[in-house]
Amino acid sequence: MTTIRRVGLWAGAACTLALASCGGGQTRLGGAPNLSVLAGNELPSPGRLDVTDTTSIYYVGPFDRLVIDVFGIDELSNREIQVDANGRISFPLAGVVDVIGMTPSEVEVELAKRLAAAHVRKPQVTVNLKETLSRVVTVEGQVKKPGLYPVVGKMTLMRAIATAEGTDEFSKLDDVVVFRTVEGRRYAALYDLKAIRHGAYNDPNIFAGDVVMVGEEKSRRLFKDFLASVPALVTPLVIGLDRLTN
C-alpha cells in the first residue's frame, strides 16, 4: 500500500470519526424524580432556610469559624470559635447560643444582649467570618479543578467556574447545568457559557449549595484520542481536519 493511500485511509477514518461523534445529539436534561427543569432566568433564588443568600448577605452555618471580639475586654477578644454540627457556639458569660441561620450582625446583637444580662457594661461585640465550611458550591465536570468552593458574598456562574480555574479543552460551553434545591424541591437549568461571556444574557447568580456541572465535548476528546494513534506523517493533515470540524 502506498504512502499516499495510507494517508487517504487515515484521513477518511478521521472524517468518519469526527462526523459520527458530532451526530450523537445532546443529552436531554431532566427526567429524574422530583426534578423541575426550568429556563435559566426562571431558576428560583433560595431562601434563608436553604442557608444561602440573595445578595451578599451571609448566614452562619455548621462548622463555620467565627472570630469574636468584645471591645475593651481582652479576655473576650480575638476568640476564634467554630460552630458545631447543630449550629451552636459557646461563649464565655453568654453560654450556648444557637447561631445557625443568623447573620454575623445578628450574632453580635444576641451576644451583646446576653453579655449585658451577665452584667457586662454596654458590651460592643464584633463578629467576623474567618472560614466557611457550610456555604460551598460544587463545580464538577469539564473544569480544570473540580471541587467544593466557599461562597462568601455574591457569586455568579462565571465566577464559580473561574474559581475552579476555568473550563478545559473538552468543555461543552453550551451544556452547563446548575442544580439547586429550594425548600426541599430540586431544580435544574441549562446555560450557554459562551453566550454569557459575549453578553448575550446576564451572568446568573450562584448560591451556596448549588451544583454546577460543565458538560463534555465528546467529539473533541475522541478526536484527540484519535490523533494520539495517528502516524507522524499524517498528523498535519488530521490537525487540519480537526480545525475544520470546530
- pLDDT tens string 55-105: 457 788 888 999 999 999 999 999 999 999 889 999 999 999 999 889 999
Strand order in the sheet with 185-191: 35-38, 185-191, 171-182, 211-216, 136-141, 147-150
Query: What value does the mean pLDDT take over residues 2-21?
Result: 46
Tell me, what's the pLDDT at 11?
Answer: 46
Tell me, what's the pLDDT at 128?
Answer: 93
Cβ 194 vs Cβ 173: under 8 Å? yes
Cβ 81 vs Cβ 65: under 8 Å? yes
Going 204 to 167 to 200 to 24, the CA torsion angle's sign is negative
Tell me, what's the pLDDT at 48?
Answer: 62
What is the pTM for the complete model shown?
A: 0.53
**Between these two residues, 211 and 241, which has the higher pLDDT value?**
211
Position 199 pLDDT exceeds 70 = yes
- pLDDT tens string 135-145: 889 999 999 99
Position 113 pLDDT exceeds 90 = yes
- pLDDT tens string 145-190: 999 888 877 889 999 999 999 998 888 999 999 999 888 888 998 9
Tell me, what's the pLDDT at 245?
Answer: 47
In terms of C-beta density within 10 A (0-12 exposed, 13-18 middle, 19 or more buried), how is residue 199 classed? Answer: exposed
Tell me, what's the pLDDT at 104?
Answer: 93
C-alpha cell recorded at residue 110: 444576641
Position 10 pLDDT exceeds 90 = no
Least Cα distance to 178 among 159, 201, 202, 205 occurs for 205
C-alpha 48/C-alpha 46 separation (Å) is 7
Name 89's bridge partners: 97
Position 195 pLDDT exceeds 90 = no
Tell me, what's the pLDDT at 136?
Answer: 85
Position 226 pLDDT exceeds 70 = no
